[in-house]
Structure 1
């Protein structure tokens, strides 16, 4: 089966699909060295990073037509490009959510109303600037957390901007399979955020019975009303043994890295094509991945990338605020995983030197 995988970073989906025996075209915003190794063909498409792909769709379709995929899978990059997603859905066999479903769940007011109707906790939202309290200013339809600001810092009001009350607690993600009224939890993980903001910086697999019970209850209550299909994820806040829904991600999730030993692409396809939710065994090991960001501009030619790094860039210049690479570790406890990540950080500091590492945010806490 020939799969085209489209995402700002298609590496992990391509690697899982390759291991499962699929022939992969990776359409990616970066096309790093690992993605090149994980796919039979790669195409760097700027529309995945610009969030406004109208001028680039013809070039994308030319590449997809030449590859002639049996199916298309989508990760991040189309959240703010509804027209592009609709065109993709109309032209190819896209295994994922319908455009109208994506549009609904990515509309903050619709999702908030849905949570309220089903008595699922979710922070208040506002269309106009609040006068008191702690709020976050966000842009509807965006992804990755780069767009999130404390409301006092929001200097420019955008047409798709809105405010969401700041909910204290631990940021977590719920990865799940869905089809109609049926939903299966794959895993729960802590979300790692950029030290200087809310950008996604990785995740750590969690094992907490109370959290898993709450996650299953939330999914069974809310997801049937969302109309989702296949692998999706929910961002939430875990506070005082209550989950508060922050956002729904109606697409493949980067957190799949934590569960990459499972046949996730096969499960997604079975769910989307045949309505089957296969049983997936729960991983026993602890795991964590973190994204290394550039604080200041970094020349890739100045860096050496060991084989144990992931998302290794293939060249060029990395601008401030952009990802450089990723670190991954597994172990029998949270502490063992944290020590392994810190060891890799120390090895990189030795390899790259103080000057370069002062320009980098490792996001290991």
Structure 2
């Protein structure tokens, strides 16, 4: 997200949990020692004219309200967040308008079957989702939802208060098969042509209903399962991990369009579909280790980690700082690839992930 802004010449300040190396090479980046609460003091001292959020900060609407009083928010308000992140609200909206949503309850009256999941209210990226067992009990911090078999996908949307545009679609890569430590954890995505999506008319209707009812603005995502009919899963009311895939194909700054949508209420730029495919894969650690100078040297020798490369189409991203302790199953970095079609991109991603693991195995041995 920071790179997307820097590409159009905007000076950017970043505060997050990590302040990764590549972020520091393009922007003033600060790791928050007490995430997310220290974001308030950071923004108070910042020279930024406006601010926006991504990732897990959406789980803290009260904090977002406080931050919005310090600087103008380019994004969705706490009130909008509380709507779109509420599974019961989405369930009722789906029922009212005739689209599909998984059976959901906060407090089951009887034991549920094996096809049910227990999900946290505050989470991101599939973290802390578990399969239901009889030992699970109702709790205010979680809810129960029936699992829907099918292909997990996402849409990227840009909207103003009166209009919207679907920018692209991606097939999500989730779980152990792709190296993640848990069954439902996000591990990557590959973009697919919108024209190839079965049920696209129904997906567009879902987006229209959600947009009209919630007044979502700027960039946001909609996760869904592609089954006999599309089934809505959740709304991500901000820049998502799949956004760089569309930006790589459009070769333009999506955050420029986000700013225009939030500030000027206009859908700017050429937002038409493109040819080709892009993919992302998160590389998860197969063992615990400390990221060292040697690790960084190995990666730098294999891939261009210059500022120009980071602001172009980087192959490697989210690079840890030297001295970072990375536990087994935790993410090391992200890998990108571009190609003519999905199969070509998936093959490139698999090769590059294997190469990253080889680099770390070699450096750890040395």
Whether these two folds match at TM > 0.5 is yes
Q: C-alpha displacement at 1:259, in angstroms?
A: 1.6
Q: Distance in 1 between matches of 2:41 and 2:131?
A: 41
Q: Does 1:202 align with 2:194?
A: no
User: Would you say the 8 A contact 2:219–2:258 is kept in 1?
Assistant: yes
- Name which of 195, 204, 207 aligns with 1:219: 207
- Matching residue of 1:256: 243
Higher relative contact order, structure no. (Cα contacts within 8 Å, ≥ 6 residues apart) = 2
- How far apart, CA to CA, are the structure 2 residues paired with 1:234 and 1:228? 12
2:173 maps to which residue? 192
What is the distance in 2 between the residues matched to 1:153 and 1:345? 38
**SS across alignment from 1:72:** coil
CA distance in 2, matches of 1:136, 1:336: 34
Q: TM-score, normalised by structure 2?
A: 0.85
CA distance in 1, matches of 2:209, 2:320: 41
Partner SS for 1:174:
strand
State how far apart, in whole Å, the 2-side matches of 1:212 and 1:84 are.
Answer: 36
Deviation at 1:133, TM superposition (A): 4.8
Deviates further, 15-24 or 346-355: 346-355
User: Per the alignment, do residues 85 and 245 of structure 1 end up closer, same or farther by CA in structure 2, a change over 3 Å counting?
Assistant: same
Check if 1:27 corresponds to 2:6: no
Per the TM alignment, residue 222 of structure 1 is displaced from its structure 2 partner at its CA by 3.0
Q: Is the 8 A contact 2:280 2:336 kept in 1?
A: yes
Q: Secondary structure at the match of 1:180?
A: coil
- Aligned match of 1:276 in 266, 269, 274? 266
SS of residue matched to 1:71: coil
1:1-365 map, 5 Å: 13-39=1-27, 41-48=28-35, 53-54=36-37, 56=38, 60-129=39-108, 130-152=111-133, 155=136, 158-195=139-176, 196-207=182-193, 208-240=196-228, 242-260=229-247, 261-278=251-268, 279-301=270-292, 303=295, 304-305=298-299, 306-307=302-303, 308-315=315-322, 316-353=324-361
Q: Secondary structure at the match of 1:26?
A: strand
CA shift, 1:335, in A, is: 1.7
CA contact (8 A) 1:115 1:222 kept: no
Q: What are the Cα deviations for residues 243-302 of structure 1, in whole angstroms up to 9, with x where unaligned? A: 111111111111111022332111111111111112412231211001112243222126
Cα distance in structure 2, aligned partners of 1:212 and 1:329: 26
Decide whether aligned partners of structure 1 residues 150 and 133 sit closer, same or farther in structure 2, where only a CA change above 3 A counts: closer
- Tell me by how many angstroms 1:47 deviates: 4.5
* Larger strand percent: 1
In structure 2, distance between residues paired with 1:71 and 1:283: 31
- Cα deviation, residue 70, structure 1: 1.4
SS in structure 1 opposite 2:81? helix
Higher alpha-carbon deviation: 155-164 or 246-255: 155-164
Question: Conserved in 2, the CA contact under 8 Å of 1:296 and 1:321?
Answer: yes
Q: 1:90 to 1:120 in 2, by over 3 A?
A: farther
Q: C-alpha separation between the residues in 1 aligned to 2:225 and 2:343? A: 22
Do the aligned residues in 1 keep the contact of 2:283 with 2:353 (CA within 8 Å)?
no
Q: Deviations over 1:35-78 (max 9, x none)?
A: 11121x11111444xxxx44x3xxx3443233321110110122
- Give ranges in structure 2 of 5+ residues lacking alignment: 177-181, 304-314
SS across alignment from 1:246: strand
Q: Distance in 2 between matches of 1:351 and 1:186?
A: 35
C-alpha distance in structure 1 between counterparts of 2:199 and 2:173, whole Å = 17
Q: Is the 8 A contact 2:4 2:256 kept in 1?
A: no
8 Å CA contact 1:89–1:99 kept in 2: the answer is no
Aligned length: 335
